[in-house]
C-alpha cells in the first residue's frame, strides 16, 4: 500500500537500524530492547513486542554513531500497528523531550546517512 497524499513530514527521514531501549515512562522497570526502522529529527519508527496506545509516553535510550553516550529522551506514540500477530508491532514515535546536544547528534546522523545514500 503506497501513500499518495501530501507529504506531512517536516524532517528528512533515514532508514537505519540503531539499538533502542524503551519502556513506558511511568513504569520504572519493564525495559525492552529493539531497533529503529527509520529516524528523523522529529521521531522514529521502531519494532516493539507489544502494542501501545496512541499518546503513550515512552522513555527512550538510543545509541548513535556520532555520540559516545546514549541519547535519553521521551517519545509519544503516534501509532502502533501489528505486523506479526501478538508478536511484532511497528510503533511510530514523535520526540517530546530532547535537549539541544542530542538533537544535534540525531541531525548529524541523519545528514550522514542522507549523504551516504546519495552516493
- Residue 119: what pLDDT? 62
Under a CB-based contact definition with an 8 Å cutoff, are residues 86 and 51 in contact?
no
Quick check: is 7 in a domain?
no
Quick check: is 41 in a domain?
yes
Quick check: is 9 in a domain?
no
Quick check: is 28 in a domain?
yes
Quick check: is 10 in a domain?
no
- Number of structural domains found in the chain: 1
d(CA 14, CA 39): 5
Q: What pLDDT, in 10s, does the model give residues 17-31?
A: 999 999 999 988 889
Q: What pLDDT, in 10s, does the model give residues 16-69?
A: 999 999 999 998 888 999 999 999 999 999 999 999 999 999 999 999 988 888
Quick check: is 2 in a domain?
no
Tell me, what CATH number does 25's domain have? 2.40.10.220
Q: What is the pTM of this model?
A: 0.84
Residue 63's domain comprises 19-118
Amino acid at each position: 500500500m503506497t501513500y499518495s497524499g501530501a507529504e506531512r513530514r517536516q524532517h528528512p527521514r533515514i532508514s537505519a537500524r540503531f539499538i533502542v531501549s524503551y519502556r513506558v515512562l511511568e513504569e520504572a522497570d519493564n525495559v525492552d530492547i529493539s531497533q529503529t526502522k527509520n529516524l528523523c529529527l522529529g521521531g522514529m519508527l521502531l519494532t516493539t513486542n507489544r502494542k501501545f496506545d496512541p499518546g503513550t509516553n515512552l522513555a527512550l535510550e538510543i545509541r548513535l554513531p556520532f555520540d559516545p553516550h546514549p541519547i535519553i529522551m521521551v517519545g509519544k506514540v503516534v501509532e502502533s500497528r501489528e505486523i506479526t500477530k501478538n508478536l511484532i508491532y511497528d510503533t511510530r514515535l514523535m520526540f517530546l523531550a530532547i535537549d539541544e546536544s542530542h538533537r544535534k547528534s540525531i541531525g548529524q546522523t541523519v545528514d550522514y546517512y542522507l549523504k551516504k545514500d546519495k552516493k
